[in-house]
Amino acid sequence: MSRCQIVPPFLLERIAASHPDRGVSATSRITLQIDARLRGRRESGPAPLAGPMAAVAGDAFSVYTAANGSDLPGSLVRAAGAPASGDPAVDEAYSGVEGSLALFSEVYARSSYDGKGAHVVATVHYEKDYDNAFWDGSQLVFGDGDGKVFRRFTTPVDVLGHEFTHAVTQYTANLTYQGQSGALNESISDAFGSCLKQRLAGRSAAEADWLIGEGIFEPSIQGKALRSMSAPGTAYDDPTLGKDPQVASMDDYVDTVEDNGGVHTNSGIPNKAFYLAATGLGGDSWDGAGRVWYAALTSGIRPDTDFAGFAAATITAAQAVSAQAAEAVGSAWEQVKVTPASGSSGGTGVPAPTGTAGTSVVSVTRSGGVTGVSRSGHVRLGEDPRSERVEALLAQVDLASVGSRDPQPDRFVYHFNIRGEEVVIDEHDLSPNLHELSRLLLEE
């Protein structure tokens, strides 16, 4: 598929047009400073216990507020054991982290995300109108949503469990966030996010709704949730958002350069396999399929494991339970047209960019957030009133200096097309000039 088919371009433009009142953020510079710090953290490898965590050492987790800025972790609002704060975002994050720790500890005997009791930091009220949640390699971060399409991202507990699971994956299989291994990384987060939701609600696999992010949309949006694990591609169909683009079978696998190779789109395939395995095994998802998936995740699979490799790992894990369990898991993968294989390699290749625009056009597509929704915008130079500012920004941008990519789970990815030249940049690597350019093009 070409690069603009996650959501049809005319619908993306309608999303952009629905946000005409937003000014250019005054926090770009701060964001860049913070992002530079985050890059420093990543370069130093997994070392979650640092800085603010020392103040509450001995506790399992704590919730901070960024107070609509981008400084992380921000100010401490509620430490583990402290009473409710009265701020719904803080208290939802508190309950979600508490539930996630309990799920992994009580069911899978895992102490925190790193298996060594790491203190969990969650920050709410990140930036203004921020339509996303992510794990930055060290902590959980949640936006408040724009109040038009999205509500606050702490509302659905499975979104919190999804982000927490990205941390677990980082410290176990460390699946590369690109292509099939990236879609697996995404799907494992949805699977355990759903297990968390089902466990807190006391619903069995047969009773569960299998929706991810239920309650995140404002009432005006025509949709149930961000994703459906039982019926990928059916979660929403809305004039502003377009239709849920997830696929449910290898027959429909989407080759795209957006969203780190369609990680939020193709994750529908292993998501459906998890749903089929959970209902096939019966009982509670977190107990049946959850244990099998956790065993596969921690079985020593490689970071570039593809669907076939992971399917084989889950069948091996299920064989340790019973022959019937292995058969149910095998059948689940068969139904989504994934043939389990051992020794298969990555499948993480990225197709070359296609469809370069005309030389007078500057465009951007932003994809990759936890919502799986893309937005696009463009300026036709010389015809658009924004042309002068766009030209001025481009004069200060050295495209050759844009560094190599280091994708983070659920962070935005920007695909610029600047007079026919394609450039891909992660949210945390955007320079202030490119950040302003993207906001101009997206009319934010």
In contact, 217 and 149? CB cutoff 8 Å = yes
Helix, strand, coil percentages, rounded to 5, for the chain? 40, 15, 45
* Nearest to Zn ion of 410, 422 (CB atom): 410
Residues in 348-387 that interact with Zn ion by CB under 5 A: none
* Nearest to Zn ion of 189, 266 (CB atom): 189
| Neighbouring C-beta atoms of residue 116, cutoff 10 Å | 11
Site string for Zn ion, 30-69 (x = CB under 5 A): ----------------------------------------
Residues in 402-441 that interact with Zn ion by CB under 5 A: 409-410
* Nearest to Zn ion of 330, 409 (CB atom): 409
* Nearest to Zn ion of 100, 189 (CB atom): 189
Buried b (16+ CB within 10 A) or exposed e, 276-304: bbbbbbeebbbbbbbbbbbbbbbbebeeb
In contact, 62 and 40? CB cutoff 8 Å = no
Of 163, 214, 422, 427, which is the active-site residue? Answer: 163
Based on the shown chain and the rule CB under 5 A, indicate whether residue 189 belongs to the binding site for Zn ion.
yes
Based on the shown chain and the rule CB under 5 A, indicate whether residue 176 belongs to the binding site for Zn ion.
no
Query: Encoding tokens for residue 105?
Result: 């500890």
Shortest separation between residue 64's beta carbon and Zn ion, angstroms: 21
Angle ∠(38,41,42) on CA atoms, nearest 5? 90
In contact, 348 and 176? CB cutoff 8 Å = yes
Of 125, 162, 264, 415, which is the active-site residue? Answer: 264
In contact, 379 and 322? CB cutoff 8 Å = no
Based on the shown chain and the rule CB under 5 A, indicate whether residue 136 belongs to the binding site for Zn ion.
no
Which residue stretch of 44-52, 56-64, 189-197, 277-285 sits at the interface with Zn ion (rule: CB under 5 A)? 189-197
| 125 is annotated as an active-site residue | no
Residue 60 CB partners (closer than 8 Å, separation 6+): 80, 98, 101, 112, 117, 119, 120
| 327 is annotated as an active-site residue | no
* Nearest to Zn ion of 275, 280 (CB atom): 275
Based on the shown chain and the rule CB under 5 A, indicate whether residue 25 belongs to the binding site for Zn ion.
no
In contact, 103 and 192? CB cutoff 8 Å = yes
Shortest separation between residue 232's beta carbon and Zn ion, angstroms: 15
Based on the shown chain and the rule CB under 5 A, indicate whether residue 259 belongs to the binding site for Zn ion.
no
> Which residues make up the interface to Zn ion (CB under 5 A)?
189, 409-410
Catalytic residue annotation: 163, 264
